[in-house]
Amino acid sequence: MALEPVAQSYPTRWKRPPVLLTHPLWRKIILLGGLVYLVLAIQTVEVDWQRVYLGLERGWRFVQGFLVPDFTSRWNDIYAGLMESLTMTVTSTVAGILISVPIGIGAARNLAPAPVYLACRGIITVSRSFQEVIIAILLVAMFGFGPFAGFLTLAFATIGFLSKLLAEEIEDCDRSQIEAIRATGASWWQVVNYAVQPQVMPRLVGLSLYRLDINFRESAVIGIVGAGGIGATLNTAIDRYEYDSAGAVLIIIIAIVLVVEYSSSYIRRWVQ
């Protein structure tokens, strides 16, 4: 370090330099733009305070319903919805995995020829670009109300998620292992089976369990648009202003999500 010329007076205060947006002019422009947007955006929110005030009483009843949930009076509905949700989750996850494994292999650049690669990537993009609820609306219109439409929705959404992550995992594989198996004269199938599969299997199991968790959460939502499951029960309970039953449904959803999350993280640790 070269010696600096001695300053005449040292600054007594230190100001932290900005980390992001170091250019002072851009900093001001972006801050000002953000502020203008915020003012405009808040103005579009029309709040009927009287309605909110009236609603507070309902909100309080909901909090009470959540604290003292009523599992018994609507238990048959809750049970039916829960069974639909759980069975839908399992079947759609299994079907989704079965379809997404070949698509995932096809979408890996190091295993698939270019036309297959492009076709599989296309399928993944289509599946990922629409939300579950929108797909559910379309499938309910085509297949009628009930868990079958929900099953198709979740399976379709699983394909986009799982194939994409599986393809990325295959592309990140250790090349030397593939080379080694190929050097023994193995066919394409044998390369997939002996070089790629052992490398990606732990990750595939982990991703599948994670998707199981997501599918259960989503199964609670797509019921609102008619695709069966616990969401339909919840929707009915709220429409009937039965907040204690709604509270019970929410508590069951949270509990199952917790159980699935903890057991899946346990299994993932055990597999990896």
Partner 1 sequence: MNTQVPGAQSSWQFRTPKQTLLRWVGWFWLVVLTVFCWQVMNENTIWAFVSDAPDQAADIGHRMFPPAWSYINNLWEPLWDTINIATLGTLLGILIAVPVAFLAATNTTPSTRFVRPLALLIIVASRSINSLIWALLLVAIIGPGLLAGIVAIGLRSIGFIAKLLYEAIEEIDDKQVEAVRATGASGAQVIDYAVVPQILPAFWGISVFRWDINIRESTILGLVGAGGLGIQLNASLSTLAWNQVAMIFIVILGTVVISEWVSAKVREAVL
Binding site for partner 1 (CB under 8 A): 16, 19-20, 37, 41-42, 44-48, 51-52, 55-56, 58-59, 62, 83-84, 86-88, 90-91, 94, 129-131, 133-134, 137-138, 141-144, 146-148, 151, 217-218, 220-221, 224-225, 231, 234-235, 238, 241, 246, 250, 253-254, 257-258
Name the residue nearer to partner 1 (CB basis): 42 or 114: 42
Instruction: List Cα–Cα distances, 88 to 10, 73, 253, 256, in angstroms.
Output: 70, 25, 15, 14
Minimum distance between the CB of residue 237 and partner 1, rounded to whole angstroms? 10
CB proximity list for 175: less than 8 A, separation 6 or greater: 110
Cβ-based nearer residue to partner 1, 118 or 134: 134
- Of 112 and 225, CB closest to partner 1: 225
C-beta of 250: minimal distance to partner 1 in Å? 7
The DSSP result for 179-204, as a single string, is: HHHHHTT--HHHHIIIIIHHHHHHHH
User: Can you list the pairs that 6-13 forms with residues at least 24 positions away whose Cβ atoms lie under 8 Å?
Assistant: none
Q: In this structure, what token pair is assigned to residue 148?
A: 């079958």
Q: How near is the Cβ of 197 to partner 1 at its closest, in Å?
A: 10
Q: What is the DSSP letter of 223?
A: G
At its nearest, how many Å lie between partner 1 and the CB of residue 8?
26
Among candidate residues 257, 227, 246, the one with its CA nearest the CA of residue 133? 227
**How far apart (Å, rounded) are the C-alpha atoms in residues 209 and 202?**
11
Q: Provide the minimum distance between the beta carbon of 126 and partner 1 in the complex, in angstroms, as a whole number.
A: 10
- Report the C-alpha gap between 63 and 243 in whole angstroms: 8
Calpha distance 75→27 (Å, rounded): 57
Q: Whose Cβ is closer to partner 1: residue 106's or residue 147's?
A: 147
User: Is the Cβ of residue 100 or residue 106 nearer to partner 1 in the bound state?
Assistant: 100
Kind and range of the H or E run holding 12: none
Q: Return the number of the residue (107 or 154) whose C-beta is nearest partner 1.
A: 154
Smallest distance from partner 1 to CB 166, Å: 18
Residues 6+ apart with CB under 8 A from 78: 71, 230, 233, 245, 248, 249, 252
